[in-house]
Every structure is written in C-alpha cells, then in structure tokens.
Structure 1
Amino acid sequence: MSSRTSSLHDRHVAAGAKMADFSGWSMPIEYAGGGVLAEHTAVRQAVGLFDVSHLGTATVRGPGAAAYVDSCLTNDLSRIEPGRAQYTLCCLPDGEPDAGGVVDDLILYLHGPDDVLLVPNAANAAEVLRRLSERAPDGVTVTDRHEEIAVLALQGPRSPQVLAAVGLPGELPYMAFTDEGGHGGDEVTVCRTGYTGEHGYELLVAAERAGALWDALLAAGEAEGIQPCGLGARDTLRTEMGYPLHGHELSREITPNQARSGWAVGWRKPAFWGREALLAEREAGAARLLWGLQAPGRQIPRPGMAVLGAGGAAVGTVTSGTFSPTLRVGIGLALLDTAAGVAEGAELAVDVRGRPQPVRVVKPPFVAPNVR
C-alpha cells in the first residue's frame, strides 16, 4: 500500500487518473480520456505536464558543500558553474560489497560553492541522504526537503509557449536553471531538464503552492494541446531515448561502465565513491554492456527475458521493454555479455515463454532526441 501522496493527489483523482504505487508513493500512471498513447504523443508533438513530486529533493549547505558533494558523487562539478544542473551518480564506495555499483542516479543543481540541491529518485532518496549525512564534514548540513518541494515536468516542443504564458522564464540553455521565476508571488525554480528527450523544463515549487501552478499550466497550455501525463508515458518516452531507470539499467549490481554511463563520471577527479573499482573495470573492460533491442513488430521484450544468440545460447538479459508509440514496434534495453561479441545490427532473439522472438541490436536512442 502506498503511504505517501503528492500535493496534487486530489487533482489527479478528480481528473480520472489511474493511480498506482511507485516507490511508496501513490502516483498517476495514466489519465482517463486517452491513456499512455495519447499522453506520449502529446509530449512528442505538443506538450505534456507531469507530476514527478515523488522524486526526492535535498539541500547540502555549508562551507565547501559543493566540494564535499564532488568528492562523493561521480560527475565532475568543475565542468559546470553556478546556475547549471548536472546528471551524476552515487556509487558504492571502494571497500564495500559491489563497489562501483550504483546506489542512485540523480540531478544536481549547483547554486554556489556552499549550496547544492540534489534530486534523487524516490526509492533511493533516503539512502543517498544517509550516506551523504554520515560523511559530511563539520559545518555541512544535508537537509531532506522531500515533503516541502513539489516537482513538475513540462515537456514537449510547445513547452516554451506554455511557460511564457504563465510568466515563467524559458530562454535557458540545456541543463541551466534559474531561481528568478515567479508565479502568483511564489518562487519557482525553472530548469531546462527532463526525462523524455524533448525540449522541456522541470519546475520546483513549494508543495503547498504546486496546485495553483499545475492549474495555471494546464489552462495556459489548452491552446497548445497540453495533456496531463502519468508515469506510464514517462516510461515509454524515456525508453525510446534509452535513458536508464534505476533498478533496471542501473543498480548496485550494474555499474556506470556497464550501463554506458561513463560520460557521467569525472575520471580525472582524485576522489569519488567507487573510483578505484570503476577505474579497474574500465581498464579491464566491462563484462557486459547495455544495448537496445528492436523487434520487427509489436512483440515487446520484457524485463527479465533471456536474450539468445546463435544456437539459442543466452547472451544477456532484458532490463526494460515497451511498445514504442513513435515507431509502432516493440523496443527494449538489455545487458549483453561482452564475450558474446554482439555488435550493432546483430540479429538475436528474446525468450518469450520458451519461444524465441527475433530482435535486432541497436544503439539507443531509438528516436532522435530534441532536447538542445
């Protein structure tokens, strides 16, 4: 049973949303009147609005807070400046079992050398904050803001017009944010980020004021074809992009090297959790790598299905799969054994209840992104 609800819960129920448990939160999966397909299409062609307040929020503040976080998480904060966001990973430290495995992937907002905001995943927020709190130097405080801050995602090619209509700033470079947004007297942090592959924004606002902003965005977006969207469409959209989902493409047993997320690792940094294990794996070569699978028809590769090579030998496992509303075929992500020598374009199969179904190996994204 879900024990937590977002501040927009009543609005979702009133809109006929199908609710389901997501990491202990009751969240909308799809809305009445169209469902996942219509919501997915709205984001690709017009604009969609998501409540993603199940995502964690936390501040790390105090003298040298950014340097401390940089010594823990994988990405290199020297690559960005205040006012920018960064995708990064919290890995298991060297000396722990599964060192280099991923505790969580998250977005970091750099306000300044002494002020960082973190947005981890719902299921892992408490663990990330526990680890950061336990190791924090004197004067640095890690504060859980999960219940205080709501997170909305406005995604799609018409999102700038909707944002402008409610008076929020949208002329931002990709992965930049501003705290100077305001709506009805409320402070709104606007960031050019998202999980769909489309031009879009994530909006952070005080939880008690999220309803007014949600209503205003839906009203302003009516002329642009806006749709409220649930986590079902969020998943089909991210899978088309090949974006990893923790617990599927990233986990304590799946490293950034295996998930092709090494671009989010500051390899030249002197310190981050799991550094030695990841460097050793990188030099030796990961035993498995993430690939995309595309079916010739509507057959969907499902998580946990074995991927079969020549002669029916297992060469990997499906981690995510869905029907692609854009391509109208089944697609999936899979970890494939490096020793199998799989290459892009290879013809493999997935084991569907004992029956091999053909798939072709592709390198994601399945659909061209439109984020920059």
Structure 2
Amino acid sequence: MALSGPTRYVRGVTNETLRRTPLFDRHQAAGAKTADFGGWDMPIEYTGVIAEHTAVRSAVGIFDVSHMGKLAVYGDGAVAFLNSLLANDLDRIAAGQAQYSMLCNDDGGVIDDLIVYRWSDDGAYVIPNASNAAIVASVLRRAAPEGITIDDQHLTHGIIAVQGPRSQAVIESMGLPADHDYMSMARAEFRGQPIIVCRTGYTGEHGYELVAPSSVLVELWDALNARGDEFGLIRAGLGARDT
C-alpha cells in the first residue's frame, strides 16, 4: 500500500477535502503530523518515525488504519462468487482463516491487492486498499448475482492495528481472543458491539487488526492507550508501519 497523493507534514493543518477517521480528533490532540494517505488525512508520525518503529519492534504500537476498505460479502455461495473474481483460491483456506489475493480486470491487470477473511461458504470479509476501496466495491456489486449482498462498511467501521512482540498480552488484557494463528480471525464483542480480531498486520511483527463499528472505535483506541505504561505501548503513525 503506497503513499498516494501529495504529502503534507504540517502540524495542525488539515485539508477539508480529505476524509477523516473517527479517531482524527485523538490524533490531533496527540500532536500527530498528518498527510494525505489514499485520500484520507492520516497520522504519519507522533513522536517520530524512528521511535515509533523501535517501539513496534521491541514492545507494541497501535495504528489507526481505518482508511482501509471494509466489505462484508454474504449470501448463498458468497465464497464461490468471490472465487470467480479473485486470483487466489478461497477453497484452500478454512472458515476463520484469511488469504491474500488480487482482484483483476478482464485483461488480467490488477485492480487491487486485498485480504479476504472467510467466515463460511456463505460469508467473507474483504479488506481492499484505501485508494481502491470504492472501485473494488463497485466491481463486486456489478458482478454480484441475485442473493449476494455487498455491504460497504468503509465509512461505518474502523480498524486499529496492534503490532509488536507484546501485542498478544495487550489483546488478552482487553479480554479479547488472542491465541489464534497468523492469517486467521476471531469474532468478539467490545462495549456490546461485534468486532473482528484479525491476526494480520503490515509490520512483520506479531500483531492484530481490530475491525470495529465507528460508534465504539474511540473507546477502543482509548482503552488500548490506557495500557501504555504497563506494556510499553505507544501510538504509531503510518510512517513507522511502512518501515
């Protein structure tokens, strides 16, 4: 996922044309430097890329990655439908597992690379890149037969990545499932709302990505930050994620 568009490392200056995640006010209050990332005003760093990179390698960092797309695909034969469009084979994974794949156009060119979480034969969750999320949703909707629903949750849900060698301890301290394998997912609840605890990430460290409704995303972020002293947890921007 490449940095797209012009970057703006200007503290406190925003571009009203960019979208903002539900955590934007938290980022500003923490003094984050923000930039255009796939059409979203996202935190690139807080205290500095090197410090945040080091924390993720040695302890744990949390990232707002809510700019990523989020599509629930369900209905009779949903996985077979996705298999007709994606480059990889979802029949190679079981329910509860995830797979890296690509959505291609009719000429074989790549529209987007994405992660698919398989719930069952009749349901899956697709995470496309931020800048291509609308295109992916449009392609799936145009191709979907009767009975298949494409629920675009890009603006109704967010994602918080918890990454680093102490990430499992942090997730367990939240009362959330944490012992599942890499490239898999588990369902849970936070503040009475359904969330998905994904054992995935972009950093190369042990980590999780928490998909939650926007209505509880700030509370989830605050609950994670409250564990900072105990676990050496810090906020990390997308600059550290890409190192």
Task: Tell whether the structures are fold-level matches, with TM greater than 0.5.
Answer: yes
Q: CA shift at 1:221, angstroms? A: 3.5
**Match for 1:50 among 56, 59, 63?**
63
Aligned pairs (5 A) from 1:276-315: none
1:187 matches 2:188: no
The Cα offsets for residues 257-287 of structure 1, whole Å up to 9 and x where unpaired, read as: xxxxxxxxxxxxxxxxxxxxxxxxxxxxxxx
Counterpart position of 2:153 = 145
Counterpart position of 2:5 = none
Aligned pairs (5 A) from 1:16-31: 16-31=31-46
Aligned pairs (5 A) from 1:1-372: 1=15, 2-31=17-46, 34-93=47-106, 99-179=107-187, 181-236=188-243
C-alpha contact 1:46 1:159 (8 A) present in aligned 2: yes
Runs of 4+ deviating beyond 6 Å: none
- Structure 2 length as normaliser, TM-score? 0.91
Counterpart position of 1:296 = none
Q: CA shift at 1:109, angstroms? A: 1.1
C-alpha contact 2:191 2:216 (8 A) present in aligned 1: no
What is the CA–CA distance in structure 1 between the aligned matches of 2:182 and 2:56, rounded to whole Å?
17
C-alpha contact 2:73 2:151 (8 A) present in aligned 1: yes
5+ residue gaps in structure 1? 94-98, 237-372
C-alpha contact 1:167 1:182 (8 A) present in aligned 2: no
Asked which structure has the greater CA Rg, the reply is: 1
Return the letter of the residue paired with 2:20: T
C-alpha contact 2:32 2:44 (8 A) present in aligned 1: yes
5+ residue gaps in structure 2? 1-14
Q: CA shift at 1:101, angstroms? A: 2.1
What is the CA–CA distance in structure 2 between the aligned matches of 1:39 and 1:66, rounded to whole Å?
38
Q: CA shift at 1:186, angstroms? A: 2.7
What is the CA–CA distance in structure 1 between the aligned matches of 2:186 and 2:31, rounded to whole Å?
33
Larger RCO (CA within 8 A; separation ≥ 6): 2
Q: CA shift at 1:136, angstroms? A: 1.1
C-alpha contact 1:162 1:221 (8 A) present in aligned 2: no
Q: CA shift at 1:149, angstroms? A: 0.9
- Structure 1 length as normaliser, TM-score? 0.60
Q: CA shift at 1:196, angstroms? A: 0.5
Q: CA shift at 1:100, angstroms? A: 2.2
Give the 3-state SS of the residue equivalent to 1:4 in structure 2.
coil
Q: CA shift at 1:121, angstroms? A: 0.5
Q: CA shift at 1:133, angstroms? A: 1.0
What is the CA–CA distance in structure 1 between the aligned matches of 2:60 and 2:160, rounded to whole Å?
13
Q: CA shift at 1:205, angstroms? A: 0.6
Return the letter of the residue paired with 1:155: Q
RMSD: 1.1
Instruction: Give the share of equivalent positions with the same residue, in percent.
Output: 53
Return the letter of the residue paired with 2:144: A
What is the CA–CA distance in structure 2 between the aligned matches of 1:176 and 1:142, rounded to whole Å?
21
Q: CA shift at 1:187, angstroms? A: 2.1
